[in-house]
Structure formats: C-alpha cells, structure tokens
Amino acid sequence: MTMKKTVPFVTFRTRVRDASLPGPNPYYWKDNTSDDYFSGKRVVLFSLPGAFTPTCTNQQLPEFESLHGEFRKQGIDEIYCLSVNDAFVMNAWGRSVGLQNVKLIPDGSGEFTRKMGMLVAKHNLGFGMRSWRYAAVIDNGEVEQWFEEEGFSDNCQTDPYGISSPQNILKTLKASAAA
C-alpha cells in the first residue's frame, strides 16, 4: 500500500563494537538519529515483536538477510530491522544469527514505534509494549510503500506473518519497477 508519511525524528541509543577497546565488552555508546538511518537513501525497514522470538529469528530476519542482494537490485540501499529491544539484546541477537547485511536498530524505549503508530501491548505473552509486525520502503525519510500485518491490536492472540515478508515486499518492488 502506498502511504504518505514521514518517519518520526528520534534518537536511538546504540552500542558499537570497537575491537581496540580492552576487556570482554568492546563496545561504546553511540546515538544515531532517524536522519542517520533514513536521510538520503532508499531503505526497507521491517519491525517485529522481539529479538530471539521464533518467527522473527527463524523466518523473518534470516529471509531478509538471504534476499539482501535481490533488494539491492531493486534500488534498496539498506535493510533495517527494528524492535522494541535494547541495544544489548539487539547486538547479541545479530551475533547469534550471524548477520552480515541487515542492520539492527534498537528502539529500547519504543519511542520510534509509538510515533509510527505501531506500539501494541503484548502483556498476554509477558512482553509488555512491543512493535506490531510491519515493513516499509522508505525513500529519504518518506514512506513509499507500507506493509502491515492484519489484526493490529493489543494482546493479539495470533502472530500474523506474510504481508511484511521480504518475498511480498520484493514482489511489490518488482511490480512497481515493471509498471
């Protein structure tokens, strides 16, 4: 679906690995803003309920990772995965799945997710407030295409996944390019 929306401006607290730092935790804090991620480039952003959860870890994240080259062919500069998890969790998750191409964005406070209108309660799963599963093609900070899973609601009893899949987004991008 086409949508006219600008991504909200927020500051994300990230942790960046620096091998020159001593000790078992060679990371430093770095603030990145929405502009750092979205200005001057065309990206796919996908957001999901949580790092280390089954669908997110076994399907969605690895499928985006494996199709990175196909997205590049469609004019996508970066693929970002956002979750309402802190930087420590997101970094550990990225290492655990061996990410090379998809970049993780920690929305620890949920501010970006809330401002996107995608924050939902997942108390029924013991998660608290999390992101609804969605994706977007964003060009220079403007949402070009929107892919939201059906059933948006607090404490949803299901975990829909399909509309925001990389296969569906690629199909849409290819159809738009052919039109």
Asked whether the beta carbons of 156 and 125 are under 8 A apart, the reply is: no
Residues in the chain: 179
Given the residues 43, 56, 97, 120, the one annotated as active site: 56
Asked whether the beta carbons of 115 and 128 are under 8 A apart, the reply is: no
Asked whether the beta carbons of 82 and 113 are under 8 A apart, the reply is: yes
Catalytic status, residue 56 = yes
SS3 call for 139:
strand
- Residue 20 burial (CB count, 10 A): 5
Closest CA to 26 of 34, 17, 35: 17
Q: Return d(Cα 171, Cα 161) in angstroms, integer.
A: 16
What's the Rg (C-alpha) of the chain? 16
Which amino acids are annotated catalytic? 56
